[in-house]
């Protein structure tokens, strides 16, 4: 019997040692931080205000091109070859300008979004470090196929970001 008791104690001790050797893990859904936090919503509103005028200009130019194209399609059969060629060039130039304007708008908007996200990420990273230290986490992951809700610290980080 003593042999069984010693074996049971050894197994229990090994199990306890394995428990303490295992690391504690946390998980953060970074996309939620970038979309649900007050900082993210404020950044979106700021960018909307900043880019709304340019978006309207792009939309107006697209509408002018569409109208000019429809008018040309309607009048083309009645035009001389010289006038048709001239108007075709004008439409092509207008289309190039519209595409350039759209591309520049998209590039600028993308750059601003990245700047805003970087600022949020920087603040979030500091908060993640603080929470990890407070909760004695050994690692915090941000990409996973599946996570248990018990290791998810996203809501904690969101609350801290929103302060």
Q: Give the domain CATH number at 90.
A: 3.30.910.20
Say what the pLDDT of residue 4 is: 42
Residue 131 lies in a domain: yes
Measured at the alpha carbon of residue 51, what is the angle toward residues 47 and 57, in degrees to the nearest 5? 165
Q: Is residue 49's pLDDT more than 50?
A: yes
Residue 157 lies in a domain: yes
- Which pLDDT tens digit goes with each residue over 6-22? 333 333 343 344 344 57
- Which pLDDT tens digit goes with each residue over 100-154? 999 999 999 999 999 999 999 999 999 999 999 999 999 999 988 899 999 999 9
Residue 122 lies in a domain: yes
Say what the pLDDT of residue 22 is: 73
Residue 34: give the domain boundaries: 23-161
Residue 71 lies in a domain: yes
pTM of this structure? 0.74
Residue 1 lies in a domain: no
Say what the pLDDT of residue 56 is: 97
Residue 92 lies in a domain: yes
Q: Is 136 left (phi over 0), alpha (psi -120 to 50) or beta?
A: left
Say what the pLDDT of residue 61 is: 97
> Considering Cα of 89, then 92, then 96, then 97, what sign does the dihedral take?
positive
Residue 2 lies in a domain: no
The count of domains in the chain is 1
Q: How far apart are the first and last CA of the chain?
A: 60
- Burial bucket for residue 40 (CB in 10 Å: 0-12, 13-18, 19+): buried
Residue 5 lies in a domain: no
């Amino acid at each position: 019997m003593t042999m069984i008791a010693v074996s049971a104690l050894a197994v229990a001790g090994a199990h306890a040692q394995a428990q303490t050797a295992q690391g504690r893990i946390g998980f953060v859904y970074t996309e939620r931080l970038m979309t649900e936090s007050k900082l993210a919503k404020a950044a979106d509103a700021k960018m909307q205000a900043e880019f709304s005028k340019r978006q309207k200009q792009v939309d107006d130019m697209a509408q002018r091109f569409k109208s000019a194209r429809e008018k040309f399609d309607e009048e083309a059969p009645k035009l001389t070859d010289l006038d048709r060629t001239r108007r075709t060039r004008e439409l092509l130039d207008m289309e190039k300008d519209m595409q350039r304007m759209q591309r520049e708008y998209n590039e600028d908007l993308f750059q601003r979004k990245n700047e805003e996200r970087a600022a949020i990420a920087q603040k979030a990273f500091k908060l993640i470090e603080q929470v990890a230290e407070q909760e004695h986490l050994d690692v915090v992951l941000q990409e996973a196929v599946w996570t248990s809700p018990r290791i998810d610290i996203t809501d904690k980080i969101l609350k801290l970001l929103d302060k």
